[in-house]
Amino acid sequence: MDISTLEPAGEHVWRIAPHGGMRVPGLLFATEALVRAMDDKVREQVCNVAKLPGIVGASMAMPDAHWGYGFPIGGVAAFDPDEGGVVSAGGVGFDISCGVRTLTTGLPVDAVTAVADALADALFRQVPAGLGSEGEVRLGPREMDAMLRGGARWALERGYGTEADLDRVEEGGRMSGADPAAVSDLAKTRQRDEMGTLGSGNHYLEVQMVETVHDARAARAFGLREGEVVVSIHCGSRGLGHQIGSEYLKRMAAEAGAHGITLPDRELACAPVRSALGAAYLGAMRSGINCALANRQIITHLTRIAFAEVVPSARLTTLYDVSHNTCKVERHRVAGRERELFVHRKGATRALGPGHPELPGPLRAVGQPVLVGGSMGTASWILAGTESGEARALSSACHGAGRAMSRTAAGKRWKGKAVVADLAHRGIVVRSPSMRGVAEEAPGAYKDVDAVVEASEVAGLARRVARLLPLVCIKG
């Protein structure tokens, strides 16, 4: 990206002045090196989002931002319905409520490295992964609608997990306002056999060790100790979320003119929050969130079964579950007054600061866990939300390393078998149904996650708590 088009606006903060129809400025949170490495398309997309009706504050991009569909991945924007604010399917993304759940185990790393291959095989056997993967859960029409309304609580009521799990999930494991009637039969059909599956792309189940603790107080609250093992599950709403996104993008693009909306980019198709189409999308999108929450809850249960087979002393406890492709109704102070806003986070994580009433008691004193994924062979991080993040970025932070090259380019540069062999040489066990998928997700295809996390901390979005290293990776 041409940095001369940006104005420094603080440490690791860059401003794009409003121009060409922008209603608010653009803000990029990143180091100079990260900004220079971003495609110019990121700047264009940040500017285009700033032109949408009812946007308030700024159109923002997190340190891991890269070019996406409509919104940049890593994009954050809030809309005020009292000012004609809109909801955009492109601002949520196709994998609705894709997110990460991290589990503590209480195990020392030696207990896992001694049985890493057996554990990898057990996890790969229990948790279906890959394109079109199907699980053992089969949903008829009635159960499908119950799942879309109930989320992780629906899964819990059917024996997948414990009540303690839900205390550590956003929205208590169930997003209110879901409307299964707003979800098409095709979307439901696509999801019928996919519950409890990882899917493909950058989704994974990873067994990790806590390498370094950076914030001892927060680590204690999170149950993290150096040298112990945790498990992270990264997946979303599978075929259902993709179908919802595809269908509503088409409808929003077709109806934009009728609502008096001129789209700066067709990929930014949107509808007024206070419109029949906007309400329908929100009902469908919230159903997608519940689907993802239920999916991660089932996978948690299957992960516990696999660990029980190989390391029966493990006690897998949910640390936190956070989504990073959502639109949520939140209260924020913008331009001197508190408002109810529709906050889009696409490839960005909510990062509530200390004292926030939505956090469960043990976490409230230190802030919300922010789960930042790496990619096979690279570090992952657990951060904590900050008080300053509310005013700076609507309590938002990065969600991962962010791609540095396309999947196509990565597939041409690396061979999956070579990547697996290289990681095995480093002591990292990989299981995947697709060597092509492994090549596309090679560690070198991503940005330096440590640099992304440091930029988030210096910019005041979230602070570092613990750095994790991979031991076993089940890759979609």
First to last CA, the chain: 31
Rounded to 5°, angle at Cα 295 from 225 and 145: 145
Q: How distant is the alpha carbon of residue 382 from its chain centre?
A: 13
| CB neighbours of residue 317 within 10 Å | 16
- β-bridge mates for residue 231, sequence order: 103, 207
Helix, strand, coil fractions of the chain, as percent rounded to 5: 40, 25, 35
Helix H or strand E segment including 65: strand 55-66
Helix, strand or coil for residue 271?
Answer: strand
The torsion region of residue 348 among left (phi > 0), alpha (psi -120 to 50) and beta comes to: beta
**Kind of pairing between the strands at 55-66 and 26-29:** parallel
Residue found by looking up tokens 């002045």 in the block: 17
What count of other Cβ atoms lies within 10 Å of the Cβ of residue 44?
16
Closest CA to 64 of 378, 409, 348, 343: 348
Q: Which of 332, 356, 399, 425 is catalytic?
A: 399
86 close to 54: Cβ distance less than 8 angstroms:
yes
Beta carbons within 8 Å of 158's beta carbon, 6+ residues apart: none
Catalytic status, residue 214 = no
Q: Hey, which bits of 195-254 come out as E strands? A: 204-213, 228-235
DSSP H helices, 272-317, are 276-310
Chain centre distance of CA 89:
16
Q: How far apart are CA 11 and CA 93, in angstroms?
A: 29
For every residue of 76-135, DSSP letters joined together read: EEEE-GGGT-EEEGGGT-SSTT-EEEEEEEEEEHHHHHTTHHHHHHHHHHHS--STT---
- Kindly state the greatest CA–CA separation across the chain: 63
Q: Which residue has the tokens 């540095």?
A: 404
CA distance 78 to 29: 16
Tell me the catalytic residues.
399
